Structure 1
Amino acid sequence: MSAAKPTSPATKNNGRRKSPWPKRIVVAAVALAVAGGAWTYYRQRNAEDAAGAYRTAKVERGDIRVAISATGALSAISTVDVGSQISGQVTDVLADYNDRVTKGQVIARIDPSTYEAQIAQGSAQVSNARAGLATAQATLRNAELDYQRKSELAKNQLVARSDADLARAARDQARAQLAGAEAQINQQIASTQTSRLNLQRTVIRAPVDGVVLTRSIEPGQTVAASLQSPVLFQIAEDLSKMEIVLAIDEADIGQVKPGQSVNFTVDSFPDRQFRGAVQQVRLSATNTSNVITYPVVVSVDNVDGVLLPGMTANAEIEVSRRDDVLRVSNAALRYKPADDAAGAGAANGPGGGARGGLSGDLPRVAQALKLDMNQQAAFDAALEQMKQRMAARTAAPTAAAPGGGGGAPIIIGGGRGPGGGGGGNNNRGNRSGGAVSGVARQRMQERFNQQFGSFRSLLNDAQRKQWDAEIANLVTARRVPLYKLVKGEPEQIVVRVGASDGSWTEVSGNIQEGDEIVVGSGRGTK
């Protein structure tokens, strides 16, 4: 049995020694994590501070409804005033307010005794005239016989020629008396017929089917129709169809067309919406205190009969409606940074300028035309040529004057815009300005016709009409600058604006749903 070897101190120390690197790596990782968190917090805080310097609103998708507000009174489409053609005392009133009457129904009577007496008197005069006629006939027969006898005797020279002439004159006088008696009979018959008509008119009948709106007579009242026909009843022909006459200002009448939808409310049913349609735009202007208005007739269905004549209607004529379009708050159109040069160069980027925006809209127009292969190929070729020409035009002024005014965006438009002119920004002068006149628009239209002439010649009549209308809309569309918040700073973009309802405005161009658009400066709620 051998003895155990003693363990040396050196061997014991080598077995217990540990490496210091794992601890160092852990410490370094913790330090890096803390530094990374601090840097991320710093960047987020700076971004939040930069973003908080501006009030923004997101680009949304939604509907824009443009309407013109006006008030008017409901009335029946056809209202008939029933009057009296004769004078006399009313004996019976057979219809009252709200009564439904049918055509020919007796609704009132006037005392007929006066006209019955006139008929009796006329009949007697006719009889007297007939008696006078019989006397004239007898006188004529005697005169003719006398003339025949004396004319024969005058031929045989048995009587003087003057006696024959006197007999002939007496015959002619008898003939005239007979004609006068016949005329007197006809006159008396006509007079009697007038009395008979007046007797019939003592019975007042409803001229149409309808509802009695007003009644202005009572039994025993005397009607005097010597100067003008008095109105006894007012009958609405059909209350299931009604109309509203709206007074539209001359500034808005150009947007109103027959067939447009109309929504209105009445005070009796404030929570109910009624619908109608524009039936007629009348040309008879009314001047009230130098305010020119035009009457617009709106047809309304009243099948349930809840609408009554005379109710005041608060109407809105829907002149334009855009569904599911990109829209921004009108405050974004009014915003202008203190330093107008901020982000100005961004408008020259892809799709930023007015003409670049047109090239971006053309494919959408072509897609709506449902082109065939040949038409699509012609369109693609024309579009590519247009882009090349625009790129050449854009590069030329930039190379000639770097950093100068050659790259300024072209803003088409002028006049009244959706952003309004509120505040001190002078929105109309600074932002839309009318930089491109009507002549320039016409030239742009001609250039489009030249560049896309071969493509346009391949379209059928319906496609060509739609293409021309869309191009005209694109050329004449108003373009304004907006300021999109990019990395905490406003960047200017030029967009095409469309319909506006006073709160939202349709936009298109280099803009997408969800983009943050600057609407004001300073901290505030987005």
Structure 2
Amino acid sequence: MSSPRNKRTSSRTTRRLLAGGVVVALAVLAAWYWKSHTATSDESAWRTTTVERGDIRVAISATGTLSAISTVTIGSQVSGQVTDVLVDFNDKVVKDQVIARIDPSTYEAQINQGNAQVASARASLEQAQATLANAEADYRRKAELGAQQLVARSDIDLARAARDQARAQVNAAQAQIRQQSASTETTRINLGRTVIRSPVDGVVLTRTIEPGQTVAASLQAPELFTIAEDLSKMKIELAVDESDIGQVRAGQSVSFTADAFPDRQFGGVVDQVRLSATTTSNVVTYPVVVTVDNADGTLLPGLTVNAEIEVSKRDDVLKVANAALRYKPSSDDAGGPAPRTRGGGAMIDDLARTAASLKLDATQQAAFDAAVEAIRQRQAARQVAPQPDGNSLFGGRGRGPRSTGGASGALQAQIRQRVLERYQQDFAALRAALDDGQRQQWDAAVSALVGARRAPLYKLVDGQPQAVMVRIGAGDGTSTEVSGDIEAGDLVVTGERARQ
């Protein structure tokens, strides 16, 4: 048996162990809480995204309807009862093929009547010619007797008048023959029109007549058939909103889908941007015609399609999520105020990349370097003596054009125009040394750089946001092309997390 003293000793030891374990557990728990709380506080103060390098595809969405490129509506120029309909829906026809007939009996009877009238007019002509011959003979006799003063002058005048009347009757009979012949020819043409022929090679889309139906063409030509000339080539007429139409050009690629073929995507090319605007409920749209290759015959006329016009595609550019461009710091000390645009330095860097892509020769490169050096000297002079009003084209202290803030669009356009003119003056020697292709690329690049929009990004540096001004390029609705003092892999702030 154990003694009471041993039991008391064992109990105290157990209590000490338990107390020590609790202390250790509390210490571990406190350390874990402090570490996790500190890490969370450091890591989650800002929501960020990474600047990436990739492709940007800008597309405009629109809806439209498929149709044949050339559709011919066939009508009837004559009235009558349809006796034969020789083609049906979806039948293929060739040019001059008979596709319907109208009862010709009425026109055949009119032709017979016209022939009889012509024959009667010919008989009248022969009678008038005989009367004319007799009148001319009588006039000659009396004229000879009158020369011998054997007949009165009045008899000679009467004979002359009778001759002239006989000539007029002959002319009237001849005109009557021509009139009746023309009328008969018109009826004969209408008889030919009772046979309806296809004017083109194609496919019958619609047929609106049946045998026995009466066609009345007295007021307007009734539509009997609709024939699509060639369904291997089709077109889509898209309705593009006025806010997007300025980006659409002929030759741009188009991808589209149709509900009838949900698992397949088709392609086309913009063929025409029409000027005839349509206004519906105060919404202005312009028709854009897209040509489509339908060699396999899959697409059908009348299908509604959802199309995307690819207006721009930028490959291997820096891009950032749009949320980063929308972020604005909630406090004044979060990254400080947005910087002004560094047009002098950033623009020169961008123009240097453009010049490198042009593969300049030694003379051209020397002209570029001279222009850049002149710009940098001018900027250095402004750093020493900045303009009080800060209205220099490149901003004081080597900065680019001042941010216009709430300035009107007209003022922004004026500033951009002034900057563009200054760059054209600075690089006039370089432009003169470029060939036509290089000059076109250079002018397009300078115009794009000067006219580009700019916005602040907040780059995360040492755990704190630092404002940098970037130039904004193309956007696809999710990401936007950016350039400036930023690189792939940089973290930029998209938002702030709630304080713990």
Normalising by structure 1, we get a TM-score of 0.83
In structure 2, what is the Cα distance between the partners aligned to 1:435 and 1:284? 28
Matched with 1:449 is 424
Moved more, 491-500 or 391-400: 391-400
In structure 2, what is the Cα distance between the partners aligned to 1:456 and 1:289? 49
Gaps spanning 5+ residues in structure 2: where?
1-33
1:159 aligns with 2:175: no
1:236 aligns with 2:225: no
In structure 2, what is the Cα distance between the partners aligned to 1:394 and 1:435? 29
Matched with 1:109 is 101
Instruction: Note if contact 1:327-1:506 (Cα within 8 Å) is conserved in structure 2.
Output: yes
Instruction: Note if contact 1:359-1:387 (Cα within 8 Å) is conserved in structure 2.
Output: no
Instruction: Note if contact 2:48-2:491 (Cα within 8 Å) is conserved in structure 1.
Output: yes
Instruction: Note if contact 1:107-1:204 (Cα within 8 Å) is conserved in structure 2.
Output: yes
Question: How far off its partner does 1:513 sit?
Answer: 0.6
Structure 1's 153 and 470: CA in aligned 2 closer, same or farther, altered over 3 A?
same
Question: How far off its partner does 1:90 sit?
Answer: 0.6
Instruction: Note if contact 2:345-2:398 (Cα within 8 Å) is conserved in structure 1.
Output: no
Matched with 1:141 is 133
Moved more, 240-249 or 466-475: 466-475
Matched with 2:434 is 459
Structure 1's 408 and 342: CA in aligned 2 closer, same or farther, altered over 3 A?
farther
In structure 2, what is the Cα distance between the partners aligned to 1:106 and 1:206? 7
In structure 1, what is the Cα distance between the partners aligned to 2:322 and 2:242? 25
1:519 aligns with 2:494: yes
Matched with 2:342 is 353
1:440 aligns with 2:432: no
Instruction: Report matched runs for 1:287-436 at 5 Å.
Output: 287-340=279-332, 342-344=334-336, 347=339, 353-394=342-383, 396-397=385-386
1:179 aligns with 2:171: yes
SS at the partner of 1:437?
A: helix
Instruction: Note if contact 2:122-2:177 (Cα within 8 Å) is conserved in structure 1.
Output: yes
In structure 2, what is the Cα distance between the partners aligned to 1:307 and 1:191? 49
Instruction: Note if contact 1:211-1:238 (Cα within 8 Å) is conserved in structure 2.
Output: yes
SS at the partner of 2:143?
A: helix
Moved more, 247-256 or 392-401: 392-401
1:204 aligns with 2:196: yes
Structure 1's 239 and 375: CA in aligned 2 closer, same or farther, altered over 3 A?
same
Matched with 1:471 is 446
Structure 1's 357 and 79: CA in aligned 2 closer, same or farther, altered over 3 A?
same
Instruction: Note if contact 1:70-1:314 (Cα within 8 Å) is conserved in structure 2.
Output: yes
Q: Deviations over 1:120-179 (max 9, x none)?
A: 111111111111111011011100000000000000000001101100100000000000
SS at the partner of 2:364?
A: helix
Give the partner amino acid of 2:225: F
Question: How far off its partner does 1:436 sit?
Answer: 6.6
1:118 aligns with 2:110: yes
Give the partner amino acid of 1:144: E
Matched with 1:128 is 120
Matched with 1:225 is 217
Q: Deviations over 1:438-470 (max 9, x none)?
A: 222222222222322333332223322322221
Instruction: Note if contact 2:73-2:224 (Cα within 8 Å) is conserved in structure 1.
Output: yes
Give the partner amino acid of 2:379: M
Instruction: Note if contact 2:100-2:197 (Cα within 8 Å) is conserved in structure 1.
Output: yes
In structure 2, what is the Cα distance between the partners aligned to 1:214 and 1:82? 10
In structure 2, what is the Cα distance between the partners aligned to 1:471 and 1:275? 33
In structure 1, what is the Cα distance between the partners aligned to 2:402 and 2:241? 27
Match of 1:77 among 69, 74, 83: 69
Matched with 1:188 is 180
Structure 1's 178 and 435: CA in aligned 2 closer, same or farther, altered over 3 A?
closer
Q: Share of identical aligned residues, percent?
A: 65
In structure 2, what is the Cα distance between the partners aligned to 1:470 and 1:489? 34
Gaps spanning 5+ residues in structure 1: where?
1-41, 415-428
In structure 2, what is the Cα distance between the partners aligned to 1:283 and 1:77? 19
Q: How many residues align?
A: 462
Q: Deviations over 1:218-251 (max 9, x none)?
A: 1111111111111111101111111111111111
Matched with 2:466 is 491
Q: Please, what is the CA RMSD of the aligned residues?
A: 2.7
Instruction: Note if contact 2:379-2:398 (Cα within 8 Å) is conserved in structure 1.
Output: no
Give the partner amino acid of 2:176: Q
1:259 aligns with 2:251: yes
In structure 1, what is the Cα distance between the partners aligned to 2:273 and 2:98? 38
Normalising by structure 2, we get a TM-score of 0.87
Matched with 1:12 is none
Instruction: Note if contact 2:380-2:398 (Cα within 8 Å) is conserved in structure 1.
Output: no
Give the partner amino acid of 1:279: D
Question: How far off its partner does 1:346 sit?
Answer: 8.6
Instruction: Note if contact 1:484-1:492 (Cα within 8 Å) is conserved in structure 2.
Output: yes
